[in-house]
């Protein structure tokens, strides 16, 4: 699409397949902000891309759901976001992925095994301004984790 246009594809079914297909097309970078990430098929697709030289950066929630699944996030450039706020109960609840600064995948779908059995949605968005907005948000989240690690 040209700089001003936005293309949108909305999925309510076969979401895991769409995500893996988009990961498989990546050539340079994949930036992921995902509250919960326990899906081994998606993880393996990312690992394959990393082994092909694609840069993969991940912001994930630092909680028990992610910890107990046994996926080794540390093979990627990973930023684990702690709960925050007055009572340390607020969550990084994002679910988006930016691929090659050209495509955004976002919606209700967490990259979990359970999501395959829920009523979920995932939108594929192409459009420079939209993609740049998500890329900027990813960088904000990453910097927030880095700052938190420096201070605490």
Query: What's 17's domain CATH number?
Result: 3.30.870.10
Structure tokens at 143: 């910097």
Q: Give domain status of residue 1, yes or no.
A: no
Largest separation between any pair of C-alpha atoms in the chain = 45
Q: Give domain status of residue 38, yes or no.
A: yes
32-71 pLDDT, tens per residue? 999 999 999 999 999 999 999 999 999 999 988 888 877 9
CA 70 distance to own-chain centroid: 18
- Rounded Cα distance between 79 and 150, Å, is 13
pLDDT interval class at 3 (50, 70, 90): low
90-143 pLDDT, tens per residue? 888 999 999 999 999 999 999 988 898 899 999 999 999 999 999 999 999 999
Domain coverage including residue 76: 7-151
Kind plus residue range of the DSSP H or E element containing 18: helix 15-25
Q: Give domain status of residue 2, yes or no.
A: no
What's this model's pTM, rounded to 2 decimal places? 0.91
Total structural domains in the chain? Answer: 1
């Amino acid at each position: 699409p040209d700089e001003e246009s936005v293309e949108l594809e909305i999925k309510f079914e076969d979401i895991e397949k769409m995500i893996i297909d988009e990961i498989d097309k990546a050539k340079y970078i994949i930036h992921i902000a995902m509250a919960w990430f326990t899906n081994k098929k998606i993880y393996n697709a990312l690992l394959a891309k990393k082994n092909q030289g694609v840069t993969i950066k991940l912001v994930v929630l630092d909680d028990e759901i992610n910890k107990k699944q046994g996926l080794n996030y540390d093979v990627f450039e990973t930023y684990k976001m702690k709960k925050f706020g007055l009572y340390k109960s607020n969550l990084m609840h994002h679910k988006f992925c930016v691929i090659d600064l050209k495509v955004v995948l976002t919606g209700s779908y967490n990259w979990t095994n359970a999501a395959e059995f829920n009523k979920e949605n995932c939108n594929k968005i192409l459009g420079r301004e939209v993609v740049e907005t998500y890329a900027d948000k990813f960088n904000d989240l990453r910097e927030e984790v880095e700052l938190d690690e420096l201070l605490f």
